[in-house]
Structure 1
Amino acid sequence: MQRRHFLTLAGMLVAGATFPTSPVLSQGVDVDAILRDPAAPTSGNPNGDVTVVAFLDYNCPYCKKAAPDLERAVKEDGGIRLVYKDWPILTEASVYGAQMALAAKYQDGYDKVHHALMAIPGRGVSKEQMAAAVRATGIDIDRLNADLNTHVGDIAALLRRNLAQAESIGLQGTPTYLIGPFRTSTLDYAGFKEAFAEARRRQAAE
């Protein structure tokens, strides 16, 4: 699918422009399903005052470039609830990577596998490269495979929900981040920090 910037937030910050006021999640969209799907992996502060929803693909170079900055910004902020939406739209290997990461969740290893897959350089990463990266994390591979077999239906259902949610809000590429009332694509560390701050400003003004 074609990658496309929905809001060039980093560019807006440089230019000093204001954020858009229209809500990202409009009528007809199941907001609660997007923000609080109980099967979706989460990170950061579970009681954070700002929720970030990240639609990602393990073969997306833009996702990989932004991942360390997102993790750093979330960790340093301390008040961000981060929701991961595995949205494997680029290659067959992307689906394989998403399945492994979601299977790792059953042994509390999603973050470990997610970071390992995001750290593989380049695009067009193969299943074999992904499998090697996951093994290198030290996660229990036998259990991961068993959990994948046991929960294959649940994992497939979650990926279908992520796809439906992405389509319901008109997403066309990865990465896409929903940050409070804003939607954006690739950001750097400073961009994420400013987006968090602006989301809080907007929430306080409501």
Structure 2
Amino acid sequence: MPSRPLHRRQLLRSGALATLGTLFAAPFVSSGVLSTKTLDVDALLFDPEAPVGGNPKGDVTIVTFFDYNCGYCRKAAPALAKLVADDGHVRLVYKDWPILAESSVVAAQYALAAKYQGRYERAHETLMTASLRGDTGRFPALLEKAGIDRKKLSADLKTHGQAISALLKRNNEQAEALQLPGTPVYLVGPYKVAAALDYEGFASVVNDARTRAKTK
């Protein structure tokens, strides 16, 4: 992984930009063995439980796989948020993929619980910028400071715990089917970007996705 977010030229040189190609249609293949796992494109792009930001009717969809303990995810998050806000026509699908630590799992659970009070993106931004080291029991207070109702957060985590766990499991299965190397990974239209990007990098790939869609 790069030490800092990549811009467009670095992205092309790094080889981190690739087309998804037949991955959207073919079974997951690992070590020459055909798996029973297949990638359900509708579930990937339109899982009703997955948080969505940006323009829900946007002409380009970005699917972001991330971990709250991933330093590269943290570096790229502000640029992605700014691009989505500036562009106005990008649909952003959040795929919490907590693979780095137990605190990643707890953070993802709380962020997804905040969705039930319409505050997922606020929770996401807070957890992306806060230190997650130490006792995970302080996460509710951290989110309360950000304006999230703490009592409702705890109640929703309990009430919707099974749905949240099921979503995290689906996210992981999709990441495995896509053979993702780790976090962050961004699916931008037909492109898979396995690297942190800066603002220019995100804007360029979105533009490429639009151009490719027009030529089909």
Q: State TM-score, norm by structure 2.
A: 0.85
Higher strand proportion? 2
Give the letter aligned to residue 40 of structure 2.
D
Contact 2:79/2:198, CA 8 A, preserved across alignment: yes
Using the alignment, how far apart are the partners of 1:174 and 1:110 within structure 2? Answer: 20
* 3-state secondary structure, aligned to 2:69: coil
Contact 2:7/2:198, CA 8 A, preserved across alignment: no
Using the alignment, how far apart are the partners of 2:89 and 2:114 within structure 1? Answer: 25
Contact 1:59/1:124, CA 8 A, preserved across alignment: no
* 3-state secondary structure, aligned to 1:83: strand
Residue 204 (str. 1) matches residue 214 (str. 2): yes
Structure 1: any 5+ residue segments left out of the alignment?
A: none
Contact 2:11/2:201, CA 8 A, preserved across alignment: no
Q: How does 1:43-192 map to 2 (within 5 A)?
A: 43-121=53-131, 124=133, 126-128=135-137, 130-184=139-193, 185-192=195-202
2:26 counterpart residue number = 27
Q: Give 4+ residue runs of structure 1 displaced > 4 Å after superposition.
A: 14-22, 123-126
Using the alignment, how far apart are the partners of 2:18 and 2:148 within structure 1? Answer: 42
> What are the superposed Cα offsets for residues 81-110 of structure 1, whole Å, 9 maximum, x if unpaired?
000000000100101000000000000010
Contact 2:8/2:200, CA 8 A, preserved across alignment: no
Contact 1:59/1:125, CA 8 A, preserved across alignment: no
> What are the superposed Cα offsets for residues 99-156 of structure 1, whole Å, 9 maximum, x if unpaired?
00000000001011000001115x7465145334212112110001001000100000
Using the alignment, how far apart are the partners of 2:73 and 2:103 within structure 1? Answer: 15
* 3-state secondary structure, aligned to 2:76: helix
Give the letter aligned to residue 182 of structure 2.
G
Structure 2: any 5+ residue segments left out of the alignment?
A: 28-38
Indicate the percent of aligned positions where both proteins have the same amino acid: 47
Question: For residues 181 and 93 of structure 1, do their structure 2 counterparts lie closer, same or farther at Cα, with a shift above 3 Å needed?
Answer: same
Q: State TM-score, norm by structure 1.
A: 0.89
Contact 2:19/2:192, CA 8 A, preserved across alignment: no
Contact 1:102/1:155, CA 8 A, preserved across alignment: yes
Alignment coverage as a number of residue pairs: 199
1:42 counterpart residue number = 52
Give the letter aligned to residue 72 of structure 1.
K
* 3-state secondary structure, aligned to 1:84: strand
2:33 counterpart residue number = none
Give the alignment's Cα RMSD to 1 decimal.
2.2
